Structure 1
Amino acid sequence: MQDDLLGSPASVRRGVVGLCEVLGVDDPTVQRRLMSAAGRWLRRAGRVDPEVDLTNLGRLGGRLVVPGDREWPVQIDDLGDEAPFCLWARGTVRVDEALAGAVSIVGARASTDYGERIAAEMAAGLVDARRGTVSGGAYGIDAAVHRATLAVDGVTVAFLAGGVDRLYPAGNTALLRAVVDRGGLLLSEVPPGAVPSRVRFLRRNRLIAAAGRSTVVVEAAWRSGSLVTARLAAGLGRPVGAVPGPVTSAASAGSHRLMREGVAVCVTDVAEVLELTGAAGDGVAELAEQEARRDESGARPHDGLDDRATATLDALPVRRPATVEALARSSGLAPHEVMSALGVLELRGQAARSEAGWRRAGRGR
């Protein structure tokens, strides 16, 4: 298997030398480092057995989802070169359906009662608005989000840093099993059997950021990993919210930092989260029905839009799609304001999203 995948050690050395020649790398130190790295991967390759991984996953009721599959979540592709090659899924709901309109909620593992209560209230409120939740399956805020979503029969998705057969942390084993058994999903980019590690936790954060329509940080210390997730989400053009806490609480220092630096806007309840996300407090189905009635009455494209949505609609091109950043420059709005407005316009049938960006659609033309 090892030779089939990467070849012999000698062929790997020849490959590294050839690569350095093509790239014009003649530094012996760099060549030695590349050789060492290739050797480490070669040793790991001997343990790779996709057939065994798929068999083990199938016994757990799981599956492998790849780009191009019907259930592949297209928002993950916003990561570009950082997008995963596949997602290992455990649960019966389709991945794209579970993540459609979902909101990512993250926060401190060492959370306070205040933070857990707010996280639970927001999660339950999102389910009432027919939205799912996304988090990381960890202690603290993550666990509060998953529990509250399940308590009101909602769909929650946990992105794991290890394989979906490695329910980590151990103290959340029952909770993670409940996620699978009650209509949610466990997702990971690493295969079954993979052990969680610091690097994998950090890499996992980008998936949480990309999966959600928006990201909300409930509690975060000054150097919390949740800040990384928030900044990644902002970099993807996702709206980011942060819940304020007592100024004396170290558990909220990171949340306050995000607001002060302009990465996140202040959100205090689920209505503000929905406004940030683009639902303006209405359930998706209800909003769609309202827009259908407006169509029948012959309303004009700008009727019922606030200033942000109007500016965004005016900036939307008719033919060639534009990125969120380009729309922000054209409209004079912040990227998170554009994303919020696009959510409203999409639900009204006035904006359409593709891999290349956003353009006008339907009666928004």
Structure 2
Amino acid sequence: MIKFQGNHILSVSQFDRESIAKILDVAAQMMPYASRQKRCHVLDGAILNNLFFEPSTRTRVSFGCAFNLLGGFVRETVGEENSSLSKGESLYDTAQVISGYSDIIAMRHPQMHSVAKFAEGSTVPVINGGDGANEHPTQALLDLFTIRSEMSRFEKGIDNLDVVLMGDLKHGRTVHSLSKLLSLYNNVKVTMVAPDALQMPDNVISTLENAGHKVVLTDKIAGNLACDVIYQTRIQQERFASKEEANLYRGHFSLNKQVYEQYCKDHTVIMHPLPRDSRPEANELDVDLNDLDNLAIFRQAQNGVLVRMALFALALGVEDKLTDYEKPITWATNK
């Protein structure tokens, strides 16, 4: 198992199964705090600097909430134009300065491998919140936590999983990272539903195949959705040369209740990293699925707080001290 305390979390390639199990188990321990049954101030006085140089809602806010729920303080920089990077400062210099103000840093940046470059200059742990089309390791971990949680309802696990990845698999960093994590498990079947131009990168496919898993590539929905989990992704317009190019693929893999009932199993769970594109020309996941018990997209988003709380606790070495710093909540809650 890797050493978490004091170390960066930059890529899913850092993890083995034992390390992942540790993260997911610590995440489960965070449930009372995330659900406001109790509060925990184990990180009282600690400072997170949230550096988000690319637009984000869920990832940025959940990182901040996760740190606050453990008692820490959050400072944010949103947009490269609001930082000294816009004045020509290097990632290394920025890291040297910001890490002096922080106990830990979460960072998102539009360029591939930029977070790792930033981490080279940081004196405190850095967590990758997404680096271009490369990776999104915390999303992959929360996705795995969600799969484990959802499959437990059907007495299934991650081993022997039958999963469909669908949509923009070329640019979707979430499915790149999730596929690499799935390669660590046993007897996984991965069906990749995408147009040829947006199919999964060869290196990700090879990672799964070299681990002995069955990979099916197709551009057809019909006959390919009878699985345990469907992981839908949006067309990543920001990764295309133009909006017009992105529009060529928008709306090709829409999932609605009729499609679900026709092609999926009774227990098929639907996941999506969000935001889902609900515009008529895209409509990736129709609102007629909102009352479906197996639509897990909002539980998935909530799980992001649990997993990021776990990563903060592990990186700062407090995962075994949580209960020592518990307090009752002092406000009214409807939960």
TM-score, normalised by the number of residues in structure 2: 0.30
Q: Which has the higher helix share?
A: 1
Larger radius of gyration: 1
Flag the structure with more relative contact order, 1 or 2, with Cα contacts below 8 A and sequence separation at least 6: 2
Q: Which has the higher strand share?
A: 2
